[in-house]
Amino acid sequence: MKSYTLLFLFLFLSVNLFSQETSIKSLKIKSLDTNNVVKESFNLNRITPKGLTNKPSKIFFNYNLDFDIKSKNNEIDITYKTDLVSPTWKIRQTFNEGSGNKSKFSKDFYLGDLETKSKYIVIKCRDHEYVDGDRIRLLLNGAVIHPNISLTSVYYIVDVDLDEGYNNIDFIALNEGESSPNTAQLIVLDEFGNQLSNKKWLISTGYKAKLVVFKK
């Protein structure tokens, strides 16, 4: 019995000593900053970040599961006519040919006079207005160079040898085509390609356009 009492006393003392050695003593450390800090000054308002996940979703496709393929509202009318207005253009091109007063063309037309040292000249003529089948005869000093030239939109080109002194070149209107009068544009070049004249005529049938070239 005495031995049990000693053993119990030994255990009690051992536990008491162990608890004293392992106990944690609290240590209070005073702050060096003696200012009083107000708690409310550190209140932070929580901000909820807004990102792509917070944006409302958009419906890009509308799937209608109740689509009725036999419904007339879904039919395509291939005979439907658009309400758009088709553009229209009015092309107005006026010509001197076909004008009411034809008497003013019933006279000879003078194309002017030229001076050149060239041995020959190059004559280019065409119908500069409405191409309607106008024809002319070309003469040099009364001699026929070409009896019948049809005037088109493309230049008819002919070389004319010049005599010393004055050279009278006549363009006689053989007809007036489908639209009166006989119309033409005349360009004259020397042998070097220099332009000497650029004229136009409007004459009735039987009348002539006259050009005088003086060779030095």
The predicted-structure confidence for 15-74, as pLDDT tens digits, reads as follows: 565 555 554 455 565 555 555 555 555 555 555 544 444 545 555 455 555 555 556 565
H or E segment to which residue 12 belongs? helix 2-22
Contact 204, 105 (CB under 8 A): yes
CATH number of the domain that residue 138 is part of? 2.60.60
Compute and round to an integer the Cα radius of gyration of the chain. 58
pLDDT band at 102 (very low <50, low <70, confident <90, very high): confident
Question: For 210, phi and psi rounded to 5 degrees?
Answer: -115, 135
Residue 139 in domain: yes
What gap in Å lies between CA 131 and CA 135, rounded to an integer?
Answer: 11
Average the pLDDT over 85-103 and give the result: 55
More confident residue, 22 or 190: 190
Average pLDDT taken over every residue of the chain: 76
Residue 140 in domain: yes
pTM of the model: 0.55
More confident residue, 70 or 189: 189
Residue 91: pLDDT over 50: no
* Per-residue pLDDT at 92: 45
Residue 71 in domain: no
pLDDT band at 10 (very low <50, low <70, confident <90, very high): low
Asked if residue 181 has a cis previous peptide bond (ω within 30° of 0), the answer is: yes
Query: What's the domain count of the chain?
Result: 1
- Quick one: tokens of 165? 């002194």
Residue 42 in domain: no
More confident residue, 204 or 28: 204
What gap in Å lies between CA 195 and CA 185, rounded to an integer?
Answer: 14
* Per-residue pLDDT at 120: 96
Which conformational region is residue 174 in: left (phi greater than 0), alpha (psi within -120 to 50 degrees), or beta? alpha
Reference 200, options 77, 91, 96; nearest CA is 96
Residue 159: pLDDT over 60: yes
Residue 159 in domain: yes
Residue by residue, what is the 3-state secondary structure of 86-110?
Answer: CCCCCCCCCCCCCCCCCHHHCCCEE
Residue 210: pLDDT over 60: yes
What gap in Å lies between CA 96 and CA 52, rounded to an integer?
Answer: 75
| Number of helices followed by number of strands (H, E) in the chain | 1, 9
Where in the sequence is the domain holding 177, given as residue range(s)? 105-215
What gap in Å lies between CA 198 and CA 158, rounded to an integer?
Answer: 15
* Per-residue pLDDT at 52: 45
Residue 192 in domain: yes
Residue 193 in domain: yes
Residue 147: pLDDT over 90: yes
pLDDT band at 103 (very low <50, low <70, confident <90, very high): confident
Residue 39 in domain: no
